[in-house]
Structure 1
């Protein structure tokens, strides 16, 4: 699947699994995505300023999404030549469709009805967490529940903060603060969400700055599509 299509599918499904938290610091992490049944691993890298790089396939460093300075870029290499597309406009349009109920699914719930502890504990990626049952109400008033593992680990908090502030601002979604407020004070980091997503590894070591540089001048994807019509 191309760098344009697969990251959009990933971002639309994963954004609810990570919630905004307090301070921002640099680091790296991997997230295991089991939604396709293959258990693919994504790699996240972020800087103190909130810049975020997402390698949808951790084994393929040549295809990634880069969020920085309020914009998002899709980067790929074709025959060794870099191709950089600025796709912020497309993401905002997708966010509008989700808010209007035009998407196949609305990943972020309209409201959190309850977050209840199960009394169980679970260790994910070497981090201890507590298991909760999160019940959400979607835009149509339907309730769904999912099991999540939450932690107060500072590194997990930093990762989720950067991911959500970057993604939700671009999609134009505004429910993240409400989702955060519903979580327990000592469980603001998400280690696992249902059976679909789980933290694979995390490090507080800052990634090299060159991972956040564009390998070529960007082109605007929305403009490209308009001209092609």
Structure 2
């Protein structure tokens, strides 16, 4: 239904701050693909998935996929779909589990502007499963609208983890400890993720409404 990059995009952004909720929209780049995201508070998020001819929708603490086939609109409850698929849903992990241990996470003292927003540059050094050190650069900010986007996408990631039934990935826990606790949002992470543009606005409620009832899947576990 949706590419791994679209799902990973939801995992990369990981902040969950104690701030007043806002609404907005953003264009993000993940895995070489550009995606549009609209959000309202932390509980409503719509992420376009052009390669699937539709979008992902977070609402009511549930995650849905919406696709168009000609004039037909198909809505799937992702948790229900994964449950129906049983063990086949676990054949390939959605998560990149290369991070085993964080060696250091430090502010370099440098600044970088991404999408017109000034951020601080951090260097992350971590060990992978083979014991090799990996180094990546992150640009973080306390800008409220970026932190807000992060909160909504973290909720989507958390919902997806629960739907799959996996343990929370170490990489997700690592980012939670080192970024969420500091009430920051990610503007850029290496060449894997970057906010291209972000605007504070109020998408209409219809953008987060289900266009049809979720389909009942014909296959069982």
TM-score normalised per structure 1: 0.77
- Report the Cα offset of residue 30 of structure 1: 1.1
CA RMSD of aligned residues (A): 3.1
Correspondences of 1:1-229 after superposition (within 5 Å): 4-6=1-3, 9-22=4-17, 23=19, 24-33=21-30, 35=31, 39-48=32-41, 50-57=43-50, 63-90=54-81, 97=90, 103=93, 106-107=96-97, 109-138=99-128, 142-172=132-162, 173-174=167-168, 176=172, 178-183=174-179, 188-220=184-216, 223-226=217-220
Q: Aligned partners of 2:175 and 2:105: how far apart in 1?
A: 10
Contact 2:13–2:186 (8 Å) recurs in 1: yes
Q: Aligned partners of 1:206 and 1:66: how far apart in 2?
A: 16
List alignment gaps of at least 5 residues for structure 1.
none
Aligned residues: 210
Greater alpha carbon shift after TM alignment, 129-138 vs 160-169: 129-138
- Report the Cα offset of residue 143 of structure 1: 3.7
Q: Aligned partners of 1:81 and 1:204: how far apart in 2?
A: 32
Q: Aligned partners of 2:22 and 2:102: how far apart in 1?
A: 28
- Report the Cα offset of residue 105 of structure 1: 5.6
List alignment gaps of at least 5 residues for structure 2.
none
